[in-house]
Structure 1
Amino acid sequence: MTRISLTGFGSHLPGTPLTDDALPPLDAPLTEAQAQRIGVTRRHWAGEHDTVPGMAAAAAEQALHRAGTPAADLDLIVLANWTGRRYIPELAPRLATLLGADRAVAFDLCCACAGFLYGLAITDSLLRTGRYRRALVVASETTSRRAAPGSRASRVYADGAGAFVLQRDAGRGGTLLDHELATDGEQHGIMDVTEDGHVRTHLRQRELAGLAAESIARLTTTLLERNGLSADDVDWFVPHTGTAGIHTAVRRRLPFRPERILTNFSTVGNVSSAAVPVALDHFVSRGLVKPGQLVLSASVGTGWYAAATLYTV
């Protein structure tokens, strides 16, 4: 049976950590209780010269080094991004050139905050065809630029990139086991971007948190049942939760023990589709998530997208 291995992880956060005091003032100052509910104590913002392909390349080079895979050996590159998207030219081919992956097929993917997990699912399918052997999936986001200046979102949105290296029948590393994807066009209009390029939400935060938790719970349950697993069989649940309210709703809705849910949201902020690979890389690098352990990651994205992935590291 074909095995899709996860052979390397990497991440990149631009600049230095920024506390609230280092950010431009809000239109309406926060009370201490409100700041605690936002739940982010520091984050990284991309500078003038930090680009989506550049941050992606930094995360990818780290992942490739750890995988022991030269960029020139890559067959496939998938770049998830929505915050810096443009009509043309798209960004994945530029990333391939920055890495020196001259023979890789490279393409862009959106799917909002769920983009990275969608990228893993697509890459898994392409590797199993036998036409490709080594692949790189990267998410790179400048989410801070999608927050209106002076808004509370500017205290949550942040920037960063994360990457996984995948290989067919590598015989080493972790294993990509299964995935589940879903969309719901009935929820299409709950968020959009203004003409100024800033995210605008048309749903109360409590309702948005409930929708996100329900979507994640449904896909997670499906994934566990299909693989004959219970929540207790999973070593770590590493989700993208987006806001502190969504994180709380997910914890209440899912059966995972609180100590088995890992997130670095408070020190990284909402880095959108890069959230899962950035968190996973941080926890693996610190030795908290260990080789061979079973991980389940889930995410939602406006549109409406939902995704869940089961893998070992």
Structure 2
Amino acid sequence: MTASAYLTGFGSYLPGEPVDNDGIAARLGGDDPVTERIRRRVLAANGIRKRHYALDEHGEPTELNEELAVKALQAALDDRGIPASDLRMLATATTMGDVLVPGFASMVHGRLGGGPMQVLSASGVCASSLAALDAAASKIRLGDHPRAAVVGSELPSRSLRQRRFDGKRAGLDSHFLRWMLSDGAGAVVLEFQPHPSRPSLRLDWVRQVSLAHEHPVCMRAGMDGTEASVGSTWQDVSVAEADAAGMFLLRQDVSVLDELAEAGLKQFEELVDIGLVDVKHLDHVICHYSTNTFRDLAFDSLRRRLPTLDTDRWFSNLESRGNTGSASIFIALEEAWSTGRFAVGDTVLLAVPESGRFSFAFAHLTVVGPGAPQNTSTQNTTKEQ
């Protein structure tokens, strides 16, 4: 028997009013014919209809990334009904914080307040939020902390504005992400026991794997090219030289995204093969992805194993909330939870592919009622009886 961790509070924060596809240029700029053609091509493929930016109508920033994180955390704490002073650990995930130093978790803690607590800054891209969740849950299971909070937060819009692109080498590899990414934060509260008066999500297991040993860099910033070498990173040259070379633009090698989808599906099938996922008793799948094309590939793979697949099990809010990187999986989980999609006994799979250098994270959850047993095998993925 192994001690468990339970998700007992959920929160999200999306800055500003939703921006539709026709309103993006007003926020980010880039209304010339060539840029508009690229934008419409990317938007037609990804299926995103609305997203949020922490920018005003003139494209000026309105909030910091750490502020987005704190608002999502406060929403999760309010949902649980506890103050920040009850936390003993804070784990954060983001692609780029507001400052180089201190770490993002320290900045978020300073703004959130509360009392003394362990902090962890998980860096990376999309899968960093489940890495932070795994770390916090491990400390709870060890008995080091009774309660923790985890937040994924992203504010890429500051790097996506036209002024960052003027005079730079900016092909499809940079414009692709420019019309894909947006701002937001999602958070959860974890505890050693379920919520006392309503259902909770028991965290059964988390699995993360990097395939960086097999794949080159796909999503990048701060380097010239896809391979790092002395003299080719932003720290090897002056800031002005790095900026002129376009090193601060977020870029993605779109030619290898099909390989990312294939590798992610293979990782999922391995989880099925070793018995961690039972597709016949899997009630919900919440998957972060950047385009609806990946969703369709996943459906095809699942149907090979389960011809009667009910696609209503699949939940994503990509079209209405946008691609918010590490925050996406928690933003989707919060919406699924708050809209009543789950019932006691249901199982939930979270899936997050990360294109940075090909890594993948999965988490399996079971909905339990108040007063459920506090100790259970972390390998148990069957429904509550």
Say whether the 8 Å CA contact 1:20–1:155 is kept in structure 2.
no
> In the TM superposition, what whole-angstrom CA distance separates every residue of 1:193-212 from its partner, at most 9, and x where no partner exists?
254422212341xx41x333
Match of 2:16 in 1: 15
Distance 1:153 1:278, change over 3 A: same
Say whether the 8 Å CA contact 1:181–1:307 is kept in structure 2.
yes
Match of 1:198 in 2: 249
1:108 aligns with 2:105: no
Q: Report how far residue 283 of structure 1 moved.
A: 1.8
Stretch of structure 1 that moved more, 240-249 or 119-128: 240-249
SS in 1 for 2:126: helix
Counterpart of 2:215 (choices 177, 187, 191) is 187
Stretch of structure 1 that moved more, 107-116 or 222-231: 222-231
Opposite residue 184 of structure 1, the aligned amino acid is L
1:115, 1:154 → 2: CA distance? 20
> In the TM superposition, what whole-angstrom CA distance separates every residue of 1:151-170 from its partner, at most 9, and x where no partner exists?
34333211100001001134
Counterpart of 2:340 (choices 261, 277, 287) is 287
1:248 aligns with 2:287: no
1:158 aligns with 2:182: yes
> In the TM superposition, what whole-angstrom CA distance separates every residue of 1:37-69 from its partner, at most 9, and x where no partner exists?
231111101121311111111111111111122
Counting aligned pairs with the same residue, the percent is: 26
Say whether the 8 Å CA contact 1:83–1:141 is kept in structure 2.
yes
Per the normalisation by structure 2, the TM-score is 0.74
Say whether the 8 Å CA contact 2:46–2:290 is kept in structure 1.
no
SS in 2 for 1:45: coil
Match of 1:83 in 2: 96
SS in 1 for 2:127: helix
1:280, 1:272 → 2: CA distance? 14
2:98, 2:360 → 1: CA distance? 20
> Structure 2 matches for 1:268-287, cutoff 5 A?
268-287=321-340
Per the normalisation by structure 1, the TM-score is 0.90
Counterpart of 1:296 (choices 349, 355, 358) is 349
Q: Report how far residue 148 of structure 1 moved.
A: 6.5
1:176 aligns with 2:224: no
For structure 2, the 5+ residue unaligned runs are 26-30, 56-60, 166-174, 223-242, 304-308, 368-385
Say whether the 8 Å CA contact 1:216–1:308 is kept in structure 2.
no
SS in 2 for 1:249: helix
Distance 1:293 1:304, change over 3 A: same
Query: RMSD across aligned C-alpha pairs, in angstroms?
Result: 2.3
SS in 2 for 1:241: coil
Distance 1:146 1:29, change over 3 A: same
Match of 1:70 in 2: 83
> Structure 2 matches for 1:119-158, cutoff 5 A?
119-147=132-160, 149=162, 151-158=175-182
1:212, 1:23 → 2: CA distance? 27
1:242, 1:280 → 2: CA distance? 16
Q: Which structure would you say has the larger Rg?
A: 2
For structure 1, the 5+ residue unaligned runs are none
Q: Report how far residue 234 of structure 1 moved.
A: 1.1
Q: Report how far residue 225 of structure 1 moved.
A: 4.6
> In the TM superposition, what whole-angstrom CA distance separates every residue of 1:3-34 from its partner, at most 9, and x where no partner exists?
21110111000000001221212634349776
Distance 1:142 1:44, change over 3 A: same
Distance 1:29 1:120, change over 3 A: same
2:263, 2:83 → 1: CA distance? 38
Match of 1:4 in 2: 5
Distance 1:221 1:37, change over 3 A: same
Aligned pairs, number: 310
1:131, 1:97 → 2: CA distance? 22
Match of 2:69 in 1: 56
SS in 1 for 2:128: helix
Q: Report how far residue 188 of structure 1 moved.
A: 3.5
1:215, 1:76 → 2: CA distance? 33
1:305, 1:188 → 2: CA distance? 12
1:62, 1:291 → 2: CA distance? 23
2:296, 2:159 → 1: CA distance? 24
